[in-house]
Amino acid sequence: MTLPTYFLSHGGGPWPFMMDQVGHLYARLDASLRDLPRQIGITPKALLVITAHWEGRDFMLSSSPKPPMIYDYGGFPPHTYTVQYPAPGAPALAAQVQHMLEAGGHRALLDDQRGFDHGTFSALYPVYPNADVPIVQLSLKSGLDPREHLEAGRLLAPLRDQGVLIIGSGLSYHNLRAFNAAGAAASHAFDAWLRATMTLPPEQRTARLMQWEQAPAARMAHPREEHLLPLMVALGAAEQDAATVPYHEDAFMGALAVSSFRLG
């Protein structure tokens, strides 16, 4: 079975652990993530998560068998700095991914100290609440070149036939200085372009995404593109497959348009 790939808009901070306070804001995202196991149909052997919250000079891979937690957010309730998502790591998969990337000309390094950041544990807690699927995190590469990340995804495509679910975890709109009504127009313009682009035939879709900065409101939606780049890896790993939209919201945080994508 060839698994799909996903780009997930992962929401803000530790939201799944604050549903009694923010559930009204995250109900649709939460429901979409909880539906992923049904969509996939099987439990993956492992997850490879390209996280927007980790960058290295080269591609980096988490290789600890028991990754710790990284609370990479501020201003949240005290209990959110003690939450645990005790999914196991997968050192053998990390080494395999390293080999696949290096065989394709991309230097990749293992990091046996790296823990799960909220781009991983917040996105995956609703999907696999028992934390029983092994996870390897893949960093972005500094420079944030979309083509390098697309090429990395192409090299990793064979994992889809080996029971590994490839997930790009980011956010389709990420301008924290306008994460409210001030960003509404930009988020809607960019999201409409992105959803239309994802429906195009593969060659046209890839070409447009490689030139994403030319999209309407592109730099307003992504002043810095780290939350968009995980999409390029997910795309590269399923470049010939059709895309669907498992999650879309027109009034995220009251005003913003955000989306997630499935390929395959």
Domain ranges for the chain: 5-263
Residues 195 and 165 sit within 8 Å (Cβ to Cβ): no
Hey, is 175 helix, strand or coil? coil
Write down the pLDDT at residue 235. Answer: 98
Tokens 């498992």 belong to 246
Please give the structure tokens belonging to residue 31.
């429901």
**pLDDT tens track of the chain, all 264 residues?**
999 999 999 999 999 999 999 888 999 999 999 999 999 999 999 999 999 999 999 999 999 999 999 999 999 999 999 999 999 999 999 999 999 999 999 999 999 999 999 999 999 999 999 999 999 999 999 999 999 999 999 999 999 999 999 999 999 999 989 899 999 999 999 999 999 999 999 999 999 999 999 999 999 999 999 999 999 999 999 999 999 999 999 999 999 999 999 999
Amino acid at residue number 185: A
DSSP character at residue 143: T
CB atoms within 10 A of CB 9: 26
Inter-CA distances, 69 with 19, 64, 111, Å: 20, 12, 14
Global pTM reads 0.98
Number of alpha carbons in the 13 Å side-chain half-sphere of residue 241: 19
Write down the pLDDT at residue 23. Answer: 82
Write down the pLDDT at residue 238. Answer: 98
CB atoms within 10 A of CB 213: 10
CB atoms within 10 A of CB 18: 18
Write down the pLDDT at residue 129. Answer: 98
Inter-CA distances, 79 with 17, 76, 83, 84, 207, Å: 9, 8, 7, 10, 44
Write down the pLDDT at residue 130. Answer: 98
Sign of the alpha-carbon dihedral angle for 175, 176, 177, 182: positive
Helix residue spans in 50-183 (DSSP H): 91-103, 118-124, 146-156
**Interatomic CA distance for residues 56 and 143, integer angstroms:** 9
Residue 224: phi and psi, rounded to 5, are: -135, 135
- CATH, domain range 5-263: 3.40.830.10
Write down the pLDDT at residue 143. Answer: 97
DSSP string, 53-72: EEEESSEEEE--SS--B---
